């Protein structure tokens, strides 16, 4: 895989990861239509790390605040909101971690272009249903919310079903305000992505030595993820979540027709 393809896949990863349009589905289709082989697991993990960096950079103030208060709570041996929030993120990450570990091979068999097209249609229909629920006011993610959102993340391991989309949709259906639902979704992304990346590197059969182009790919993924989070938040604030529903429906139909 040449350097330009690496950069293109990194850009696609970064642009689609925060959005409710399935980054994994887009990568499957892009690889098929470009006629390139599946990248090594180590390279995928490396590029995925770029999106994690973008998320951390965007929410750096929030993360630092949570860490600071969590450390304070640990020192005083008292529970606080920060420790509770971290525990709920961990709880929400468990279902996808277990499913991914136990059924990785079976999930991998679903990575066909037409299957991705069908899943994009389902994602679009779900977004269409929830597109009017962007005025929720609940700022808190409960333990039960965490479990439901975590289960939706596990379901979204299926290529074409958007991880960001399904987790945010679940939060919106639970009455959680959009910014809080998206923030919680992306906080879940950090541990599950790092865990999956570490496991992929351990399981990789082909050696991966970071090159100048792969390091560039990491920065491309990080920068595009950072940029898109802000754009996504602004669009939803303008009640334009339906745009993503329309995109997924059109993309799903296009993928099914072209194959």
**Is residue 138 helix, strand or coil?**
strand
Report the range out of 2-11, 20-29, 145-154, 192-201 with the highest average pLDDT.
145-154
Q: What is the mean pLDDT of residues 182-210?
A: 78
Taking only the tens place, the pLDDT of each residue in 103-142 is: 888 887 888 899 999 999 999 999 999 887 656 778 889 9
Question: Is pLDDT of 23 > 60?
Answer: yes
Segment among 165-169, 211-215, 238-242 with least mean pLDDT: 211-215
Q: Which residue has the tokens 């602004």?
A: 234
Find the distance separating the first CA and the last CA of the chain, reported in whole Å: 22
**CA gap 28, 1 in Å, rounded:** 15
In this model, does residue 231 exceed pLDDT 90? yes
Beta bridge partners of 176: 138
Q: For residues 112-135, b (16+ Cβ closer than 10 Å) or e, as one string? A: ebebbbebbbbbbebbbebbebbe
Judged against a pLDDT cut of 60, whether residue 233 lies above it is answered with yes
Task: Give the three-class secondary structure for 133.
Answer: coil
Q: In sequence order, what are the residues at sequence separation of 6 or more whose Cβ sits closer than 8 angstroms to the Cβ of residue 112? A: 28
């Amino acid at each position: 895989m040449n350097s330009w393809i690496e950069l293109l896949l990194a850009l696609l990863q970064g642009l689609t990861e925060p959005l409710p349009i399935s980054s994994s589905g887009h990568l499957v289709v892009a690889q098929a239509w470009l006629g390139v082989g599946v990248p090594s697991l180590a390279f995928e993990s490396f590029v995925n790390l770029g999106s994690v960096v973008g998320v951390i950079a965007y929410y750096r103030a929030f993360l630092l605040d949570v860490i600071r208060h969590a450390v304070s709570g640990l020192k005083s041996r008292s529970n606080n909101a920060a420790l509770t929030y971290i525990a709920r993120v961990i709880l929400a990450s468990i279902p996808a971690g277990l499913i991914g570990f136990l059924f990785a091979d079976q999930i991998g068999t679903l990575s066909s272009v037409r299957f991705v097209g069908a899943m994009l249609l389902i994602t679009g229909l779900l977004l269409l249903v929830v597109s009017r629920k962007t005025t929720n006011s609940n700022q808190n993610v409960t333990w039960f919310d965490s479990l439901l959102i975590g289960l939706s993340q596990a379901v979204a391991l299926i290529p074409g079903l958007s991880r960001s989309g399904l987790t945010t949709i679940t939060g919106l259906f639970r009455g959680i305000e959009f910014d809080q639902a998206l923030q919680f979704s992306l906080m879940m992304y950090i541990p599950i992505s790092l865990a999956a990346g570490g496991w992929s590197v351990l399981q990789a059969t082909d050696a991966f030595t970071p090159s100048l182009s792969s390091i560039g790919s990491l920065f491309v993924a990080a920068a595009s993820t950072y940029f898109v989070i802000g754009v996504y938040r602004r669009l939803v604030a303008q009640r334009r979540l339906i745009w993503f529903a329309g995109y997924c429906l059109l993309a799903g139909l296009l993928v099914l027709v072209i194959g």
